Amino acid sequence: MTLRLEIILILMLHFGGIRLQIEDLFEIFGEDVLLSCNVDASFYQCSNVSWVYNRRGNTGLEILSTAKIVVQSSARTSRLSVSNNCSLLIKNITAEDAGQYVCRPGNSNKFDVPVYLNTLSSVSGQTEHLYHRVGDDVKLPCSDKSSFFSCSGVNWLYQRDSSAAFRTDVYFGNEQASSQASRLSLSSNCSLLIRNITDEDAGHYICRLGSRIELDTSVYLNTLNNLPGHNFIIMVGSVVKVVMFLIMVAALVYVCKRRTKGDKHQRGRTGRRPVDGDEDIL
């Protein structure tokens, strides 16, 4: 990149030509998605812009387009196109489309601002109820049927009870003063792991993907100490299991004894058969 071009790009940063804002998108399989370019076409011609792609686990970058022309070697060529404002259109997205996309002005990566595309097999909107003992480690599912590239756009919300407001500081990636912070982490599929749960952790959790409320997953976490009469239920359940086991053992012993008695009786009947002449001997 020439010095003059680099100076132009720096000026664009100051005056709005390049919007340095990372985007996290969450899209459903089969949808069409338009990835916005962070370069304003009115400031910088698309002829000098290329789209590059990086999939999770890959170290190299795949060039998808240059100067609005899609690279023909791409396996997704037929589903890709570049619009007049340099945005990249991906039609009929699949799990394979999840990844990091970068609209790159010129040949330098100094001005790269990634767009993270995460794909899901369907609209979640699911609700789960989990029951765990105090002291357990528990994983709250966000979306199992998904291909996440980044969890930076995932937010976990928490509500202690229905009368309280939702707290938005649960997700460990945000700055927070929550006492839970040291016990929270995210897995690769953006599930929330809470270590050594307490009664205070019980409540309603929501996994929100970006701003798409329709994709929310609700998880109700209940600790056993919060369940009325739970210890009594556990005790009764244990007693019932023991009684059932004893009944099964008794039934087995009874069947074995009946079978043994029947075998002895059968041998008694067939052990000695009458022989001709027995009466004469007597």
Structural domains in the chain, CATH included, are 11-120 (2.60.40.10), 127-226 (2.60.40.10)
Q: Is 222 helix (H, G, I), strand (E, B) or coil?
A: strand
Let me know if 198 is exposed, middle or buried by CB neighbors in 10 A (0-12, 13-18, 19+).
Answer: middle
Other CB atoms within a 10 A radius of the CB of residue 7 amount to 10
Bridge partners of residue 29, in order along the sequence: none
Q: Residue 92's pLDDT is what? A: 95
Tell me, what's the pLDDT at 13? 41
The residues facing 99 across adjacent strands are 117
Rounded Cα gap, residues 92 and 268, in angstroms: 81
pLDDT 10s digit of each residue in the chain, 282 long?
Answer: 444 444 344 434 443 444 445 778 999 899 999 998 866 655 567 888 889 999 876 767 888 988 888 988 777 889 999 988 889 999 999 988 999 999 888 777 777 778 999 998 876 667 889 999 999 999 998 876 677 888 888 888 888 887 777 776 565 444 444 556 678 888 878 889 999 999 988 999 998 888 888 888 899 999 986 555 555 555 666 677 788 888 988 888 887 877 776 666 666 666 555 555 555 544
Residue 130 near residue 219, CB atoms below 8 Å: yes
Residues 4 and 88: their CA atoms lie apart, in Å, by: 27
